[in-house]
């Protein structure tokens, strides 16, 4: 039987996930089952003067997906993912080191309309951010919440044009209250070495805040060796019960990369964050500039090691914040 549409649909469905490689466990009689995973450990020292370097779990995921052919152009699909990102401190009586189910969805995937999925899943905004840092660039864009348990998501990608939309429904089932609700979308296009896209985000009552904004991104592959990434985003945060208490955050990033050979990649980048809070409000005035550089070496197809170093200048309410030089040594393995 013709291979299921999952081979085309899953890259779009899992674009926000950590594990991109996959192992096919079963593919026969119109049924396909794939397993993917990622493990990433870092020796990390952040910018804070009070923080010591530490060995930490940065990423640990396992994802199982399946597709069942309904017709030549339509599959029924499902996915379930698990994360292991919490640290384990040796005490079995708490949740540290526990496995958590962070994705559990069903839906349909079609070569004509894309995929439509329902359930616990990552929002499109989880993909936002295209800069080349591992850890030491200024956080590019903060949409606060980028996953939910009552998500309806549509994703379409024909190779040249791509788009998507999602909604995370009211989290409070009580008729007398209005819980949080998140709307989001993405639209983008690719042409030769250019790939541009815009993310949109609007949320109400996320832990007492209303959050809305966008992030515009452009990736440009100049030659086989050189590429550049640009991004500009703006997010407004408002106190849900007092919308005059607000702040506007502008985020800019530029980074460039050099592919020295098939295994070695170097990158450098610069990020800026600038906030504009309302007068006499609860939000602080913040300004941050970060400069970082990193080197990545691919030890195998799905395994790499990397090193990064960065410096930053930070101000809060026009007062300088003391910072240290940050650095990261890491290794990631996927399957």
Cβ contacts of residue 28 below 8 Å, gap of 6+?
A: 1
Cβ contacts of residue 141 below 8 Å, gap of 6+?
A: 128, 129, 199, 213, 215, 231, 233, 235, 251
Cβ contacts of residue 103 below 8 Å, gap of 6+?
A: 17, 63, 79, 80, 81, 119, 120, 121, 122, 147
Task: Look at residue 64 and tell me if it is in a domain.
Answer: no
- Are residues 9 and 77 in contact, defined by beta-carbon separation less than 8 angstroms? yes
As given in the structure block, the two tokens for residue 26 are 């079963």
Q: What is the mean pLDDT of the chain?
A: 89
pLDDT for the residue 6 = 47
Domain span at residue 299? 38-58+118-334
Residue 257's beta-bridge partner residues?
Answer: 227, 267
Quickly tell me which residue has 């209250």 as its tokens: 177
Residue 7 has pLDDT above 60, yes or no: no
- pTM for the full model? 0.90
The count of structural domains within the chain is 1
Task: Look at residue 291 and tell me if it is in a domain.
Answer: yes
Task: Look at residue 141 and tell me if it is in a domain.
Answer: yes
As given in the structure block, the two tokens for residue 134 are 């591992």
Task: Look at residue 306 and tell me if it is in a domain.
Answer: yes
Cβ contacts of residue 207 below 8 Å, gap of 6+?
A: 144
Residue 31 has pLDDT above 90, yes or no: yes
Task: Look at residue 267 and tell me if it is in a domain.
Answer: yes
Comparing CA positions, the residue from 9, 56, 237 lying closest to residue 144 is 237
What value does the mean pLDDT take over residues 212-216? 97
Task: Look at residue 274 and tell me if it is in a domain.
Answer: yes
Task: Look at residue 30 and tell me if it is in a domain.
Answer: no
Residue 194 has pLDDT above 80, yes or no: yes
End-to-end CA gap in the chain = 26
What percentage of the chain reaches a pLDDT higher than 70? 87
Split at pLDDT 50, 70, 90, the class of 99 is confident
What value does the mean pLDDT take over residues 85-91? 57
Task: Look at residue 188 and tell me if it is in a domain.
Answer: yes
pLDDT for the residue 207 = 85
Residue 217's beta-bridge partner residues?
Answer: 197, 231
C-beta atoms surrounding 302 within 10 Å:
15
Q: Is 178 helix (H, G, I), strand (E, B) or coil?
A: coil
Quickly tell me which residue has 């070495």 as its tokens: 193
pLDDT tens digits, one per residue of 148-189: 999 999 999 999 999 999 999 866 555 545 567 899 999 999
Q: What are phi and psi of 54, to 5 degrees?
A: -150, 155
pLDDT for the residue 11 = 43
Residue 252 belongs to domain with CATH number? 2.40.160.10
pLDDT tens digits, one per residue of 102-161: 999 999 999 899 999 999 999 999 999 999 999 999 877 899 999 999 999 999 999 999
Residue 91 has pLDDT above 70, yes or no: no
- Are residues 328 and 307 in contact, defined by beta-carbon separation less than 8 angstroms? yes
As given in the structure block, the two tokens for residue 44 are 């990390």
Residue 17 has pLDDT above 90, yes or no: no
State how far the Cα of 118 lies from the Cα of 26, in Å rounded to an integer: 24
């Amino acid at each position: 039987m013709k291979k299921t549409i999952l081979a085309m649909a899953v890259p779009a469905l899992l674009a926000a996930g950590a594990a991109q490689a996959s192992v096919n466990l079963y593919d026969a009689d119109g049924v396909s089952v794939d397993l993917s995973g990622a493990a990433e450990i870092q020796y990390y020292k952040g910018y804070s003067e009070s923080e010591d370097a530490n060995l930490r779990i940065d990423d640990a995921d396992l994802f199982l997906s399946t597709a069942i052919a309904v017709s030549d152009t339509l599959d029924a699909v499902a996915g379930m993912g698990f994360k292991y990102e919490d640290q384990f401190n040796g005490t079995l009586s708490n949740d540290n080191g526990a496995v958590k189910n962070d994705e559990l969805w069903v839906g349909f995937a079609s070569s004509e309309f894309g995929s439509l999925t329902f359930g616990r899943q990552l929002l499109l905004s989880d993909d936002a951010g295209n800069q080349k840092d591992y850890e030491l660039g200024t956080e590019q864009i903060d949409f606060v919440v980028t996953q939910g348990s009552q998500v309806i998501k549509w994703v379409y990608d024909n190779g040249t044009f791509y788009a998507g939309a999602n909604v995370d429904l009211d989290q409070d089932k009580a008729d007398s209250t209005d819980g949080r609700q998140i709307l989001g979308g993405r639209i983008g296009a690719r042409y030769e070495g250019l790939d541009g896209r815009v993310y949109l985000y609007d949320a109400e009552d996320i832990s007492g805040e209303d959050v809305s904004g966008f992030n515009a991104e452009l990736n440009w592959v100049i030659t086989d060796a050189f590429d550049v990434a640009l991004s500009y985003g703006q997010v407004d945060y408002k106190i849900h019960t007092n919308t005059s208490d607000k702040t506007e955050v502008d985020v800019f990033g530029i980074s460039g990369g050099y592919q020295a050979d098939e295994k070695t990649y170097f990158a450098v980048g610069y990020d800026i964050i600038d906030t504009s809070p309302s007068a006499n409000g609860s939000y602080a005035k913040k300004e941050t500039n970060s400069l970082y550089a990193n080197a990545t070496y691919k030890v195998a197809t799905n395994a790499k090691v990397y090193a990064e170093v960065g410096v930053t200048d930070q101000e809060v309410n026009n007062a300088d914040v003391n910072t240290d030089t940050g650095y990261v040594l890491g290794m990631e393995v996927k399957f």
